[in-house]
Structure 1
Amino acid sequence: MLELRCEAVRWVDGEPFPGIVEVRFIDAAGQSWSLIDKCAIFAQFGELTPDSDYPVEVTVACVVQGDTEATAGDGVVTVSTSPHGVTTLDGREEFTVRWDQLIR
């Protein structure tokens, strides 16, 4: 599964356990997006706490949407953050990002 590079920018709340964080990334068009979800989705080893020194580099699992061969030459790809149900506050889960923002 691919991972999209992001930054955890703040601790939102301690409930539900283990806590909620806000994560941001910038898409291929330069637009900033915010994802808010459980800290364990973005960092599996407990590196995000209320006392962390934000921003912290993290990732979110994603899957490529559409024809990767067609987009590979442009250096961009559309991904979905659906593997863990992560969306923006308005429910968006598909984003066009640069290939170099992804970790394979």
Structure 2
Amino acid sequence: MAFLRCEVVRWVDDEPQPGLVEARFTDAHQREWAFIDKCPVFTGDNLTSDSLYPVVVGVLCDVLTTDGTGNTVTISVARWGLESLEGDIEFEVRADQLTTS
């Protein structure tokens, strides 16, 4: 399994339970993307409205392709039904943005 490193930047709302957070990351082309979803979608220790943000988290993703150098990969976050605020589910990111835990 691979995880995309992101930062949860804020608590959005208490409803629906267990609460919504906003996570952001910057792709390989320096474009910033944001997700808003339930906090369990993102790895991280017990995110709450009182947590000190930003918090580094991971998002479960599938690696679809890698470039010839292994520096850039295309990922999908569809496994959790997650999508960016713009509706995108596939992103080109730097390989060093991924972790296995």
TM-score range, shorter chain: over 0.9
Matches within 5 A, 1:5-20: 5-20=5-20
Query: C-alpha root-mean-square deviation of aligned residues, in Å?
Result: 1.3
Q: Is the 8 A contact 2:70 2:95 kept in 1?
A: no
Other structure's SS at 1:100 match: helix
Taking only the aligned residue pairs, the percentage that are identical comes to: 51
Structure having the higher helix fraction is 1
Take 2:10 and 2:45, find their aligned partners in 1: how far apart are those partners? 17
How many residues are paired up?
Answer: 100
Tell me if 1:61 matches 2:57: no
Q: Can you give the 5+ residue segments of structure 2 that lack an aligned partner in the other structure?
A: none
Deviation at 1:74, TM superposition (A): 4.9
TM-score, structure 2 as length reference: 0.93
Matches within 5 A, 1:10-89: 10-43=10-43, 45-46=45-46, 48-66=47-65, 68=66, 71-89=67-85
Moved beyond 2 Å, runs of 4+: none
